[in-house]
Amino acid sequence: MLPAYDLVYETYGTLNAAKSNAILVCHALSGHHHVAGMYADQPKSLGWWDNLIGPGRPLDTERFFVVGVNNLGGCHGSTGPSSPNPATSKPWGADFPVVTVDDWVQAQAQLADFLGIASWAAVVGGSLGGMQALQWAIDLPQRIRHALVIAAAPKLTAQNIAFNDVARQAIITDPDFHGGHFYEHATVPRRGLRLARMLGHITYLSDDQMGEKFGRVLRNDTGAYSFGYGVEFEIESYLRAQGDKFAGFFDANTYLLMTKALDYFDPAHRHDGDLAAALKPAVAKFLVVSFTTDWRFAPSRSREIVNALLKNDQDVSYAEVASSFGHDSFLLEEPQYHAVLRAYLGRIGL
Amino acid sequence: MLPAYDLVYETYGTLNAAKSNAILVCHALSGHHHVAGMYADQPKSLGWWDNLIGPGRPLDTERFFVVGVNNLGGCHGSTGPSSPNPATSKPWGADFPVVTVDDWVQAQAQLADFLGIASWAAVVGGSLGGMQALQWAIDLPQRIRHALVIAAAPKLTAQNIAFNDVARQAIITDPDFHGGHFYEHATVPRRGLRLARMLGHITYLSDDQMGEKFGRVLRNDTGAYSFGYGVEFEIESYLRAQGDKFAGFFDANTYLLMTKALDYFDPAHRHDGDLAAALKPAVAKFLVVSFTTDWRFAPSRSREIVNALLKNDQDVSYAEVASSFGHDSFLLEEPQYHAVLRAYLGRIGL
C-alpha cells in the first residue's frame, strides 16, 4: 500500500570494521529516533534515553554503534499519517495503513541493510520497544544476537486493550478529528489527544509513587476545597499539564496507530496461543527486565516470556527490578536497572 | 445556597411500631432510590440491589423497613443540576452547588425525621455509599446503630482522583457541555459522558475477570485483524456499549458532582489525617467488607478503616471476600458476601 517511505534515524558512536557492534534502540508509543544527546543550541532537546546511552553509560557509545529510529507511521520525521499521500498529494490522515510490530521489524531491517549491518549486536527496547526486540528475535533470528526486552509483555490483556480503546475513542470522537483528516481543516483533535495522554499517564505511574509525589495535596495551600471544577489537587494539575503538552506536538493518527500496534502484538497468535512455539525460531540470547510496581506490564507478564524461553531451553537472563516508579521505570535512572544492563551489555562479545 | 430541595425515596417492608427496624441504603456514583423490586409493567426496572433486598434476602424486608433515596444533586428525581433554579427558572446546570458526603448525611437525616425514624437500625452502602455509612457514624452517632461499609475507602488516593479528573475533563471539554448549561442548548455532552463511563467501568472490573470474560477475543470470528479503528475486540464492543447506554440517561453535571464528592471525602482531613481521631465519636457497630480483586478500593483501604476502629477499641467485624469480580462485586450475588451480610443483619436486635 505504501509505494515508498522514509525512516529518520540517528546514530551514536562508531560502527567498527566488522560491523559487529551495532545496537538498535526501538521506541515505545510516543518515542522517536532521538534517543540520546542534544542538538546544538537546543538545551531542552535531550534524547529520551540519554541516561542510558552515551560514553561510559550502559549502552556505551565508546564501544557500541547505537542506532535510534523513528518508526514507520510515526510523527517525528519518518513517513506517517501526516506525510503526503502520493495519490492525492494531501496528508494520508486516516488512510495511512495500520502498521504492526512485524512491519516495523521489516522496515528496521531495511535500515540495517542500508547501514551495512548484517546482524545487530543487540536490539533493545522498553514497553512497545521491547515487543519489537522480541519480534526481531522471532522474525529475523540470524540478524540479532541479543534481545533486551524491558517492561514488556507477550501480548496485551483485555484491560490493556480497554485503556487503549478509551484513548482512541477520545481522539476519534473529538469533533476536530474530522475522521482523521484534520490536517485539511487546519485543526488538531487536541481535546482527545489530551485525554488520551492523561489516561495513558496514569497507567505509566505506580499508585504508590502517585501517592508519594502528589497524595491529596491541594494547589491552594490553605487546605480549603474550592467546590468547583477547576484544577484543585496537585495530581490534577500535573496530569492536565502533561496532557496539554502532549496535545501540542503529537500526531493524533500516529497515536491511534501506535496503540493499535500494541493491541495487535501477539506472536503466539499464529501458534494457537503457544508462546514457546512462537519463540522457537529465535537464536538470540535474551535479557528480560521487569519492574515490581509496573501494573501496565507487570512482572508476571515478563515471566511469561521467560518461561516460554526456558521451555525451549533458550538462553535467557531475567531481572525483576525493585522500583517504585511503575511502568515509567524503564525510562529512569534506576541504579539496579542500569547496573543490570551495564553488566549484560559489558559481556556481549563483538 | 439551596432554598429548598426534594428527595425522592422508596421504602420496602413495614416500619415497626417502635420504628427501630429501618435500614437506609446509600447509593454510589450512578445509583438511586430504586434499590429493589420492579415497577408494574416494567420488567426491566429491577432495583440495582434487588439481589440483596427483599423477603428472605440478606436485607430481609419481612423484618426490616428498607429505605432507598436518591441523593441531593442526583438525576433520578431528587433536586439536582437539571432541576430549575428558582432564581432564574432555568436548570441549575453548573451553578448547582457541589455537595459533599456530609451534606448527603444531613439531607438523609431530614428524610429520617420526616419518616419518624430517630435512629437507623443500619446504614448500608457500597463504594461511595459505604462512605456515607461511615460519615453517618461520625456525624450523627446517636442516629445509627450499625454501619455497613462495603468496598469503600477512608479517602481517595491520587490515582483514584486522577481517574476521576480524566472523566471530568472528558465531560467539561466536550463542546456540547456548554459550561454546564447544555440544557438550554437542547443538547447533552454525550461524547464526554460516554468516555467517562468507559473509563470508570475499567476500574470497576478486575483485570482477571476482564481476561476471562473477554480476553483478546475478536468480534469477527475469523480471527483476522481489521486494520482499522472500528470496534474489533469484544472488550471494545462491551465498553463502548456501556458508555453509549450511560450517556443516554445520566446527567453530566451529576456525574461531575458525584466524582467531586468522592474526591473530597476524607473524614480524617479535619484531624490532621488521623482516621482514628475522626472515628472517635462513633458509637455504631461496624461491618466492613472488601473484595480481594477490587483494585479501585482494595482490601488494604478497608483495613485502614478497620485498624482505625480497632485503635479506638470500637466494635468492628471485617470480611475480606474472595471474589474475581473487582469493585463491582458489591453489586453481585457473591455467595460468601451475601452470607456475611445475612449473618450480620440477622444478629441485629431491633
Half-sphere exposure of B119 (CA within 13 A, CB side): 15
* Cβ atoms of residues B68 and B10 within 8 Å: yes
Closest in B158, B205, B269 to A214, CB measured = B158
Contacts of A97 (CB under 8 A, 6+ apart): A1, A2, B227
Distance between A212 CA and the closest CA of chain B, angstroms = 9
Contacts of A320 (CB under 8 A, 6+ apart): A289, A290, A291, A292, A299, A302
Helix axes A128-139, A252-264, angle to 10 degrees: 50
- Is the pLDDT score of B317 beyond 80? yes
pLDDT value of position B3: 80
Average pLDDT, chain B: 97
Cross-chain Cβ contact A162/B215 below 8 Å: no
State the Cα–Cα distance between residues B211 and B235, nearest whole angstrom.
9
Average pLDDT, chain A: 97
pLDDT value of position A308: 98
pLDDT value of position B2: 84
The CA-CA-CA angle for residues B80, B85, B89, to 5°, reads 135
Closest in A97, A168, A202 to B162, CB measured = A202
Strand partners, B124: B25, B148
For the purposes of burial, counting CB atoms within 10 Å of the CB of A53, is it exposed (0-12), middle (13-18) or buried (19 or more)? Answer: buried
Tell me the pLDDT tens digit for each residue of A17-32: 999 999 999 999 999 9
State the Cα–Cα distance between residues B39 and B48, nearest whole angstrom.
13
CB of B230 within 8 Å of any CB in chain A?
A: no
Tell me the pLDDT tens digit for each residue of B207-244: 999 999 999 999 987 878 999 999 999 999 999 999 99
State the Cα–Cα distance between residues A320 and A191, nearest whole angstrom.
37
| Nearest residue in chain A measured CA to CA from B176 | A175
Cross-chain Cβ contact A159/B264 below 8 Å: no
* Cβ atoms of residues A205 and A296 within 8 Å: no
pLDDT value of position A94: 87
The alpha carbon of A106 is separated from its chain's Cα centroid by a whole number of angstroms, namely 17
- Is the pLDDT score of B1 beyond 70? no
For residues B296-301, give the mean pLDDT: 98
Is A226 catalytic? The answer is: no
CB of B266 within 8 Å of any CB in chain A?
A: yes
- Is the pLDDT score of A13 beyond 90? yes
Taking alpha carbons only, the member of B282, B349, B337, B266 closest to residue B315 is: B282
Tell me the pLDDT tens digit for each residue of A155-208: 999 999 999 999 999 999 999 999 999 999 999 999 999 999 999 999 999 999
Touching B: A residues 108-137, CB under 8 Å: none
Cross-chain Cβ contact B161/A228 below 8 Å: no
- Is the pLDDT score of A257 beyond 80? yes
Contacts of B141 (CB under 8 A, 6+ apart): B281, B282, B283, B284
Cross-chain Cβ contact A202/B159 below 8 Å: yes
Would the ipTM clear 0.90, i.e. be above it?
Answer: yes
Three-state secondary structure of A283-311: CCEEEEEEECCCCCCCHHHHHHHHHHHHH
CB of B172 within 8 Å of any CB in chain A?
A: yes
CA quadruple B243, B246, B247, B250: dihedral positive or negative? negative
Taking alpha carbons only, the member of A253, A249, A226, A251 closest to residue A237 is: A226
Instruction: Quote the pTM value.
Output: 0.97
Cross-chain Cβ contact B202/A163 below 8 Å: yes
Distance between A208 CA and the closest CA of chain B, angstroms = 9
Residue matched to cell numbers 512482572: A299
State the Cα–Cα distance between residues B270 and B263, nearest whole angstrom.
15
